[in-house]
Amino acid sequence: MQSHPPINIEALLTHVPLFNGLAPEEIGRIARATREIHAGKGDILFHKGDPCNGFHLIVYGQVKLAFTSAQGTEKVVEILSQGNSFGEALMFMEKPYIVFAQALTDSLLLHVSKAAIFEELQRDHNLCRKMLAGMAMRLHQLMSDVESYSLHSGKQRIIGYLLRELPDDEPESINGINVTITLPTNKGVIASRLNLTQEHFSRILHELIDLGLIVVEGRKIHIPSVARLRMHEG
């Protein structure tokens, strides 16, 4: 079994936006009820129906949340990466997990105990507001996804996804000329996230290539003109 050097959980929690403003002793109490999880690519973190005894924070890596239909088809609900958290809502509802979680890359996560969070919420109402805000943002994203699946074509969904993946801090993105983005995971996972079959996803990518809107090189997507791509979003 591979051994991992110990990490400073308290220091990591200090940099989590959710815990901004907490006093060192509050961070310390949460840290003592937090355990680290090293997950290799493909590892299952939990299955649908498992009890939810806290929530997860991703220190680094990538995790997908998904469920499997009775026919065996997998539907990806979310693709999460560094800084993201998940499981808070079910923790509060005291319900079992309704999806499964799988590491898409080698990942380090922190599992924060439900009991520790409930104790801190009794002491600090500001933390309660932050957690509510975080869950509200997730709900807003879920509603946006439902709107997209219901009202937007597959082509619009893919273009919208590519535009959301544009890096914010690169001059090329600001100018919108010759921008390159790297897909965070394989095309099959992204297709499922967008409620498309992998075949439909690939077909639309080829349409966009034929229109001269993108150039595909493995996971790298080159966009000659963001403005032209945006015109086709509808």
- Band of residue 14 on the pLDDT scale cut at 50, 70, 90: confident
Give pLDDT, residue 171: 53
Q: Is residue 170 part of a domain?
A: yes
pLDDT at 60: 92
Under the banding of pLDDT at 50, 70 and 90, the label for residue 32 is very high
pLDDT computed for residue 169 by the predictor = 61
Give the domain range for residue 168.
Answer: 152-231
3-state secondary structure the chain: CCCCCCCCHHHHHHCCHHHCCCCHHHHHHHHHCEEEEEECCCCEEECCCCCCCEEEEEEECEEEEEEECCCCCEEEEEEEECCCEECHHHHHHCCCCCCEEEECCCEEEEEEEHHHHHHHHHHCHHHHHHHHHHHHHHHHHHHHHHHHHHHCCHHHHHHHHHHHCCCCCCHHHHHCEEEEEECCCCHHHHHHHCCCCHHHHHHHHHHHHHCCCCEEECCEEEEEEHHHHHHCCC
pLDDT tens digit sequence for 150-174: 768 999 999 999 998 887 765 555 5
Same structural domain, 65 and 132:
yes
Quick one: 112 and 225 in the same domain?
A: no
24 lies in a domain?
yes
Q: 126 and 203 share a domain? A: no
What's residue 66's pLDDT?
Answer: 94
Reply yes or no on whether the pLDDT at 98 is more than 60: yes
pLDDT, mean of residues 88-95? 87
Please tell me whether residues 121 and 187 are part of one structural domain: no
We report the CATH number of the domain holding residue 116 as 2.60.120.10
Co-location of 140 and 168 in the same domain: no
The answer to whether residue 3 sits within a structural domain is no
* pLDDT given at position 96: 93
Domain count, the chain: 2
Indicate whether 135 and 19 sit together in one domain. Answer: yes
Q: What is the mean pLDDT of residues 180-189?
A: 90
Report how far residue 135's alpha carbon sits from residue 127's, in angstroms, rounded to the nearest whole number. 12
**Residue where a domain stops, chosen among 150, 171, 198:** 150
Within-domain flag for 200: yes
Indicate the pLDDT class of residue 133, thresholds 50, 70 and 90.
Answer: confident
In a domain, 190, yes or no: yes
Q: Are residues 186 and 113 in the same domain?
A: no
Instruction: Note whether 118 and 194 are same-domain residues.
Output: no
Q: Does residue 16 lie in a domain region? A: yes
The reported pLDDT for the residue numbered 1 is 46
**At which of 94, 122, 150 does a domain end?**
150
Please report the pLDDT score of residue 142 as a whole number.
74
Residues 136-163 have a mean pLDDT of 81
Check whether residue 113 and residue 26 sit in a common domain. Answer: yes
Q: Is residue 149 scored above 90 in pLDDT?
A: no
**136 and 122, same domain (yes or no):** yes
Are 141 and 209 found together in one domain? Answer: no
User: Same domain for 203 and 191?
Assistant: yes
Lowest mean pLDDT among 6-10, 80-84, 116-120, 170-174: 170-174
Report the pLDDT averaged over residues 85-104: 91
Q: Please check the confidence at residue 63 and state whether its pLDDT lies above 90.
A: yes
